[in-house]
């Protein structure tokens, strides 16, 4: 059974007739636009030249990169679907990113939300956090934004093994991938609180058996490893000219203070 509302079905039929496209192609694009929060999307539709992407007020890419007519048609179609979805529900279960609070409690309200395909993210400036949902059934990841004042997000070509699908952010320091941010100490949502393990009742140790024990070595936490990895990435950005020496030194000092 389709989850299209009557409004969504009528709009898709109207758009398909005007653009001379199949209803399935327009419905696919409508879902992709909704999953991108109405501002961006990635798609793979043969009628649109295969794989492509669209960003509101920005770049539109289609498989046939020299087909300017197709690129304009995709841009107009996505813009029209985005405007229509702002005026009514296309689906009985809201598909927009902001349709439900999927992030942990206590972060407040996000200033920006978005997504690509099944992934989605939300930015919480007052909590200095970005929540990222990989969309594959694993836990939501929380990233520490450090002293970045983030002004926008975009997507670049992702490299192999990038869990954040090439999503980048822009701040007062420049443009960086989400993978450059350390994971927060509470990076993963815990569905159930962990109960403390039972402890054995106290039994006094005879004085003659008490011997000083060497202090255990403190294991490096995951957060410390993430911070050190972030410093290495910042050093590469400095070497590449993306950061000045002063900017690198300030961020390095702030990260080291967290160890």
Domain end marker among 87, 115, 142 = 87
So what's the pLDDT on residue 189? Answer: 36
**123 and 249 co-located in one domain:** yes
pLDDT of residue 94: 40
Q: What's the half-sphere exposure (Cβ side, CA atoms, 13 Å) at 201?
A: 1
Q: How confident is the model at residue 201 (pLDDT cuts 50, 70, 90)?
A: low
Give me the domain span that covers residue 63: 6-87
Q: How far is CA 13 from CA 18, 29, 69, 88, 104, in A?
A: 9, 13, 22, 15, 38
Q: Which of 62, 87, 112 is the last residue of a domain?
A: 87
Q: Domain check: are 81 and 107 in the same one?
A: no
Residues 69 and 112 in one domain: no
Pairing of strands 174-177, 50-55: unpaired
β pairing state of 112-116 and 60-61: unpaired
The share of the chain scoring above pLDDT 70, in percent, equals: 77
**What is the pTM (predicted TM-score) of this model?**
0.40
Residues 239 and 131 both lie in one domain:
yes
Gap between the Cα atoms of 23 and 14, Å rounded: 9
C-alpha distances in angstroms, 127 versus 22, 122, 221, 222?
45, 12, 22, 20
Q: Is residue 165 part of a domain?
A: yes
Report residue 209 as tokens: 């058996």
Three-state DSSP state, 135: coil
The answer to whether residue 212 sits within a structural domain is no
Taken in order 165, 170, 175, 179, the sign of the CA dihedral is negative
Overall number of domains in the chain? 2
The pLDDT confidence band at residue 212, using thresholds 50, 70 and 90, is: low
Whether 214 maps to a domain, the answer reads no
**Same domain? 129 vs 249:** yes
End-to-end C-alpha distance for the chain, whole angstroms: 53
pLDDT of residue 220: 53
């Amino acid at each position: 059974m389709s989850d299209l509302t009557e409004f969504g079905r009528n709009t898709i039929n109207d758009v398909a007739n005007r653009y001379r496209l199949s209803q399935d192609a327009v419905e696919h694009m409508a879902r992709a636009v909704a999953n991108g929060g109405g501002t961006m999307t990635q798609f793979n539709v043969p009628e649109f030249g295969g794989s492509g992407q669209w960003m509101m007020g920005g770049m539109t890419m289609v498989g046939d990169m020299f087909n300017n007519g197709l690129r304009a048609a995709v841009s107009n179609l996505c813009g029209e679907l985005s405007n229509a979805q702002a005026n009514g529900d296309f689906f009985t279960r809201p598909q927009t990113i902001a349709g439900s609070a999927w992030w942990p409690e206590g972060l407040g309200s996000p200033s920006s939300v978005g997504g690509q395909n099944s992934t989605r993210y939300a930015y919480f400036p007052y909590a200095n956090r970005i929540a990222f949902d990989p969309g594959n059934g694993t836990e939501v990841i929380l990233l520490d934004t450090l002293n970045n004042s983030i002004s926008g997000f975009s997507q670049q070509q992702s490299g192999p093994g990038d869990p954040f699908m090439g999503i980048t952010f822009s701040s007062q320091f420049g443009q960086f991938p989400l993978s450059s941010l350390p994971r927060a100490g509470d990076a993963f949502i815990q569905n159930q609180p962990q109960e403390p393990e039972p402890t054995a009742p106290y039994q006094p140790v005879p004085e003659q058996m008490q011997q000083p024990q060497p202090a255990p070595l403190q294991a490096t936490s995951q957060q410390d490893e993430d911070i050190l990895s972030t410093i290495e990435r910042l050093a590469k950005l400095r070497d590449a000219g993306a950061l000045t020496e002063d900017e690198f030194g300030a961020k390095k000092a702030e990260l080291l203070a967290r160890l």
